[in-house]
Amino acid sequence: MTISIWRYSHLTLAISSSIFILLATLTGIILAFEPILNKLEPYAVKNAQTLSVAKTIDNLKANYDEIISINIDRNSFVQASVITKQGKNQTFYINPFTGKKIGNVIEKAPIFKFATNLHRSLFLKSTGRFIVGLVSFLLFLMVVTGIILIVKRQGGILNFFKKVIKEDFQQYFHVVIGKYALIPLIIITLSGVYLSLEKFSLLPLNKNKHVLTETHTDKPTQTLNFDVFKSTTLKDIKHIEFPFSTDAEDYFIIKLKDKELYVNQYSGNTVSKKKESLVALASSWSMVLHTGQGSILWSLVLLVTCFAILFFIYSGFAITLNRKKHSIKINNKFSKDNAEYIILVGSESGSTFGFAKTFYNALIQQGKSVFVSELNNYSNYKKAKHLVVFTSTYGDGEAPINATNFEKLITKTPQQNTLQYTVLGFGSLAYKAYCKYAVLVDALLQKHQNFTPNLALHKINNQSFKAFKNWAELWSASKNLKLKIDTPTKIPQPKNSQLFKVVNKSKINTDHSFLIEFKPEKKIKFTSGDLLSILPQNDPVERLYSIAKVNNNILLSIKKHEFGKCSNYLNTLKLNDIMTASIKKNKDFYLPKKAKEVVMIANGTGIAPFLGMINNKNHNNTKNYLFWGGRTKESYQTYSKYIDKAFYNKSLNGIFISFSKEESEKKYVQNTLEEKEDLISRVLKNKGVIMICGSVAMEKGVLKTLNTISESKLNTPLNMSLIKTDCY
Ligand SMILES: Cc1cc2nc3c(=O)[nH]c(=O)nc-3n(C[C@H](O)[C@H](O)[C@H](O)COP(=O)(O)O)c2cc1C
């Protein structure tokens, strides 16, 4: 399988540098605390930034014999180096308003010294510094390739910040956190690279030099009266170096944010100005941005970003291992020119290859000559008579990575024979462009003169093995074959499996239906209308049951089929038995929050989600009506308890029941809908919502009846945007 160059680069970069990134991140986490702790020290003096340098010097002079330097650090703490009246040379934090000492200069704690050395040079001096700089650059490249991968995944740059669809925990959070950590990551990596370049003196030198503009004067004056000191506040100052001697050639050296001044110690005139170079300014910014010095907020951002990097390392490797597990190799027994059956696969993350392999094996078992390849390898097939395309859809309805050239290839590659073709699309209903690329492939083949359709395009949602098996049966019937589709030997456990305990179970009724109530062993979120996915033992095909949320438990309504593996398994469960299953969100079938009136229509066990919905607290005063079709009055007894309760609580405003097998009143749910056409047309007119759950046959009949009511009473076809269905 071709692997995207970007994904390959992203992965290679990650593998080659992960140990160093891990070290840098762990030390980065420790170092992020240093500026936070420093900033919390009580050495910041209120309004000190507004005080003039002249006043500060004045105050210091009143307390000490001599001033050597004044320094304002990134926390805005004012530091002075002085000779005390006792003749001692000392450096400490001062209150510039009084000139008095307020604390000793903070010493770097040993843990921070250790972490800094490891972070900067891995204790390997220049070699270590070089490695760290390189790793920082590699991490930057990973951010860039990551951005490209997100853009591809989201289907274009404009969709970059659009919601990410959750397919799998690691992938989802790798992308989501990646989007939000993007800017800090770029800043951290680029500033890291910059600081390394600086250490290796690889940055352009500052060509600005001091040029003296005044001849010296030996006339002593009062330092305090210098204009430059009076007009400059501590806000602008980084450092002031006092003249070392009384020689006129010794100046005050004043480092401001963007320039350096020489000030004559006698005249107070600025004798030279040197502008800070852009390189030096960038160095200063790189230091601040990379270390978080002076800002608790930015240090916290750096800290969180370090944790994000740790998550990327974990989730990135988990995704890769998962892909490896799913990657499938097919050893073709026949060449492309000797095979009668050609299977072409479009796949991004490999799962479609699994289906192709199963299909390939089934054909080979029947003694057929088959050749499997990728859509991007589309070619001319000398003996082929049948083409089967299995393709997923990626991005926003786009081709998966190994199918991107197919559209071009098919127009310029001639075929000698006419091939019968079929397209099977793999996709997910969670995306708007459901199986869109399969639709395009189908259209391309339809247009092509060498292809004739054999079976209409079919779509498989969420890699459903059951749907695939159904399609394979249809396809083999169309070819007069008896394909044996092997179920996968490894039964995948559904993602986010949970344990559920049986806490209630009704007797099985004359329709072979029963209710079973499960209590989740762990606290989980779910809503009536969500689905419970159950894999019965030794069966890879998941069964989905619509959930009713009752007393915070899951209530299912099950019909036991004679040979139904899952329904029989559920029927064998006793009180307190534990079952493994997983919850699948089904937001499209939630009770609407805003509708004034909701009509719920179900037959048989399709009533389940509605039993939960009508028993939910009705905060919006929505009026709920339930139409249910069953076989006999006895069938209804199974559910009556929940319906009575809803009536009692006034969360159900009408119930309309039809029995199809009661001699006295044989009716289907559609007949009752016709009888209540005034209610139905009112709900449709007022933009209420109609929810349907149950068999597909019932759904068809109900939609037809609703359409008839809409056309006759409202003179308009049924507005499908008001209909929600969950039928099977
Ligand atoms: C990022 C991403 C984008 C997807 N976009 C679509 C889409 O637009 N339409 C669709 O039907 N399915 C979409 N899917 C679902 C996949 O097509 C589906 O999971 C398929 O079975 C994956 O097959 P593969 O593993 O062979 O690539 C998308 C999946 C992912 C991860």
- Which atom of ligand 1 is least distant from the CA of 154? 1
Asked if pLDDT for residue 3 goes beyond 50, the answer is: no
Over the stretch 647-706, which tens digit does the pLDDT of each residue have?
888 889 999 999 988 777 788 999 999 999 999 999 999 999 999 998 888 999 999 999
- Which atom of ligand 1 is least distant from the CA of 326? 25
In the reported structure, the alpha carbon of residue 400 is separated from the centroid of ligand 1 by a whole-number distance in angstroms of 8
Sketch the domain layout of the chain as residue ranges. Answer: 5-39+110-204+296-321, 42-105+209-276, 328-478, 498-727
pTM of structure: 0.66
What's the rounded mean pLDDT across residues 576-603?
A: 90
Q: What is the pLDDT of residue 471?
A: 94
CA separation for the pair 277, 256 (Å, rounded): 13
Choosing from 175, 394, 404, 442 the residue with most ligand 1 atoms within 8 A of its CB, the one to mutate for a pocket test is 394
CA separation for the pair 373, 357 (Å, rounded): 11
Asked if pLDDT for residue 433 goes beyond 90, the answer is: no
CA separation for the pair 458, 389 (Å, rounded): 11
- Which atom of ligand 1 is least distant from the CA of 348? 27
In the reported structure, the alpha carbon of residue 463 is separated from the centroid of ligand 1 by a whole-number distance in angstroms of 10
Protein residue with its CA nearest to atom 30 in ligand 1:
394
Which of left, alpha, beta for 264 (phi over 0: left; psi -120 to 50: alpha)?
A: beta
Choosing from 325, 343, 393 the residue with most ligand 1 atoms within 8 A of its CB, the one to mutate for a pocket test is 393
- Which atom of ligand 1 is least distant from the CA of 460? 21
Protein residue with its CA nearest to atom 6 in ligand 1:
394
Protein residue with its CA nearest to atom 18 in ligand 1:
427
Q: CATH says 328-478 is which class?
A: alpha beta
Q: How far is C-alpha 143 from the chain's CA centre?
A: 15
Over the stretch 474-522, which tens digit does the pLDDT of each residue have?
999 999 998 988 776 555 555 578 889 999 999 998 889 999 999 999 8
Asked if pLDDT for residue 118 goes beyond 80, the answer is: yes
How far apart, in Å, are the Cα atoms of 214 and each of 56, 220, 267?
A: 27, 16, 10
Protein residue with its CA nearest to atom 12 in ligand 1:
427
In the reported structure, the alpha carbon of residue 109 is separated from the centroid of ligand 1 by a whole-number distance in angstroms of 51
Percentage, residues of the chain above pLDDT 70: 95
Over the stretch 153-200, which tens digit does the pLDDT of each residue have?
887 888 888 888 777 788 899 999 999 999 999 999 999 999 999 999
In the reported structure, the alpha carbon of residue 393 is separated from the centroid of ligand 1 by a whole-number distance in angstroms of 5
What radius of gyration do the chain's Cα atoms show? 37
Contact between residue 530 and residue 726 where contact means Cβ atoms under 8 Å apart: no
In the reported structure, the alpha carbon of residue 280 is separated from the centroid of ligand 1 by a whole-number distance in angstroms of 49
- Which atom of ligand 1 is least distant from the CA of 396? 8
* Topology alike, domains 328-478 and 498-727: yes
In the reported structure, the alpha carbon of residue 425 is separated from the centroid of ligand 1 by a whole-number distance in angstroms of 10
In the reported structure, the alpha carbon of residue 441 is separated from the centroid of ligand 1 by a whole-number distance in angstroms of 15
In the reported structure, the alpha carbon of residue 378 is separated from the centroid of ligand 1 by a whole-number distance in angstroms of 21
Over the stretch 20-37, which tens digit does the pLDDT of each residue have?
999 999 999 999 999 999
**Who wins on pLDDT, 226 or 312?**
312
Q: What is the pLDDT of residue 618?
A: 66
In the reported structure, the alpha carbon of residue 162 is separated from the centroid of ligand 1 by a whole-number distance in angstroms of 16
- Which atom of ligand 1 is least distant from the CA of 167? 31
CA separation for the pair 441, 444 (Å, rounded): 5
User: Which of 256-260, 407-411, 450-454, 559-563 bottoms out in mean pLDDT, i.e. has the lowest?
Assistant: 559-563
Q: What is the pLDDT of residue 8?
A: 87
In the reported structure, the alpha carbon of residue 395 is separated from the centroid of ligand 1 by a whole-number distance in angstroms of 7
Over the stretch 327-351, which tens digit does the pLDDT of each residue have?
667 789 999 999 999 999 999 888 8
Protein residue with its CA nearest to atom 4 in ligand 1:
394
- Which atom of ligand 1 is least distant from the CA of 164? 1
DSSP labels for 592-661? PSS-SEEEEEEEGGGGHHHHHHTTS--TT--EEEEEEEESSHHHHHHHHHHHHHHHHTT---EEEEEESS
CATH (residue range 498-727): 3.40.50.80
In the reported structure, the alpha carbon of residue 436 is separated from the centroid of ligand 1 by a whole-number distance in angstroms of 10
In the reported structure, the alpha carbon of residue 61 is separated from the centroid of ligand 1 by a whole-number distance in angstroms of 74
Protein residue with its CA nearest to atom 17 in ligand 1:
427
State ipTM.
0.99
> Among 449, 442, 399, 409, which residue's Cα sits nearest to residue 424?
442
In the reported structure, the alpha carbon of residue 394 is separated from the centroid of ligand 1 by a whole-number distance in angstroms of 5
Q: What is the pLDDT of residue 686?
A: 93
Q: What is the pLDDT of residue 488?
A: 65
Protein residue with its CA nearest to atom 16 in ligand 1:
427
In the reported structure, the alpha carbon of residue 429 is separated from the centroid of ligand 1 by a whole-number distance in angstroms of 9
Over the stretch 46-87, which tens digit does the pLDDT of each residue have?
999 999 999 999 999 999 999 999 999 999 999 999 999 999
Q: What is the pLDDT of residue 219?
A: 61
- Which atom of ligand 1 is least distant from the CA of 435? 11
User: Where does 212-309 show beta strands of DSSP type E?
Assistant: 237-241, 251-256, 259-264, 270-275
How far apart, in Å, are the Cα atoms of 718 and each of 601, 629, 689, 710?
A: 16, 22, 12, 5
Ligand 1: list residues with CB < 6 Å.
153, 167, 347-352, 392-397, 400, 426-428, 431, 433-436, 463
What's the rounded mean pLDDT across residues 597-625?
A: 89
